[in-house]
Amino acid sequence: MRAAFAGTPEFARVALDAMLAAGIEVPLVLTQPDRPAGRGMKLQASPVKQCALAHGLPVAQPRSLRLDGKYPDEAAVGRAALEQAAPDVLVVAAYGLILPQWVLDLPPRGCVNIHGSLLPRWRGAAPIHRAIEAGDAQTGITIMQMDAGLDTGPMLLAEPLAIAAEDTTATLHDRLAALGARLVVDALGRLESLPPVPQPEAGANYASKIEKAEGTIAWTLPAAVIERRVRAFDPFPGCSFTLGGETFKLWRAAVLPGAGEPGTVLAAGEGRLVVACGEGALELLELQRTGGRRVPVREFLKGHPVVAGQRAA
């Protein structure tokens, strides 16, 4: 089994590492171009590229694979690299580029995707975030045969995973990455014998990309909705609000009974900070000021006195 690999972030890196540990031959790795990162905005290789280079694997980083798109020369280089690698199958995990038909057709055994949900629920770019935001009790991993649609191909393997009440996108991501790595190694080991199962249309929905603006807290929403968003948007983009003219990020909260004008501080002091919401109230447990670090609310209140009746926005 020669399995080329296409992926970019840590979620994909975990799968690539598992494939290599299982002895699967990886003749080529496709990943996104290096991006500026950190305070110095220096170019940084993706986690997948770092893993590939550490194992001496060939790497290609075209900005597009569409031969008729904006970067046809880079797409042509990517195509030449794939043709030279001659993989039996292409494994795709959070790659970040849409695969044109020529890529889907190139490997004899097609392209296999590791998707972070139980399809057809949460097709699209942000299945982990959206599952937490929606209050789902479980999610999972689906190994699917890719087609021209967006996460619409037939399913090869799937395994559920419970979402804990305290899960953030960060914690759930790590468990799903490990599960995806295990399942894709399993799938590759018996690819010829796994029957492709068409996805049902019932229950299909779309996990749209997370936009930074979604992190602004609207206190008119129910407290339970805000609390789920706090967990769903951790680590990115975080949930923010203003109080006393300064902007803060909220990283942990708890839903409480309570009533008041949304955004009004109902209780402050003795290590507690409670804000009224459109339905119920939210106890703020972990906060961060701009340029600071995350701190428990007790520590936060020592440097930022708050009184009942103040309004958060």
Q: Answer yes or no: is pLDDT of 22 > 90.
A: yes
Q: Which residues pair with 113 in a beta bridge?
A: 92, 144
Sequence-ordered list of residues with C-beta below 8 angstroms from that of 243, at least 6 positions apart, any chain: 265, 304, 306, 310, 311, 312, 313
Q: Helix 127-134 vs helix 223-232: angle between axes, to the nearest 10 degrees?
A: 160
Mean per-residue pLDDT of the chain = 96
Cα separation, 99 vs 89, whole angstroms: 14
Q: In order of start, what are the domains of the chain with their CATH numbers?
A: 3-207 (3.40.50.170), 212-303 (3.10.25.10)
Cα separation, 285 vs 283, whole angstroms: 6
Which tens digits make up the pLDDT trace of 99-114?
999 999 999 999 999 9
Which tens digits make up the pLDDT trace of 156-195?
999 999 999 999 999 999 999 999 999 999 999 999 999 9
Sequence-ordered list of residues with C-beta below 8 angstroms from that of 48, at least 6 positions apart, any chain: 5, 7, 8, 9, 12, 13, 16, 29, 31
Q: What pLDDT does 70 receive?
A: 92
How many percent of the chain have pLDDT more than 90?
94
Cα separation, 9 vs 169, whole angstroms: 14
Cα separation, 191 vs 204, whole angstroms: 25
How would residue 41 be classed by pLDDT, with cut points 50, 70 and 90?
confident
How would residue 303 be classed by pLDDT, with cut points 50, 70 and 90?
confident
Work out the number of other CB atoms within 10 angstroms of the CB of residue 154. Answer: 15
Maximal C-alpha separation, the chain: 68
Q: Which residue has the tokens 């009974």?
A: 257
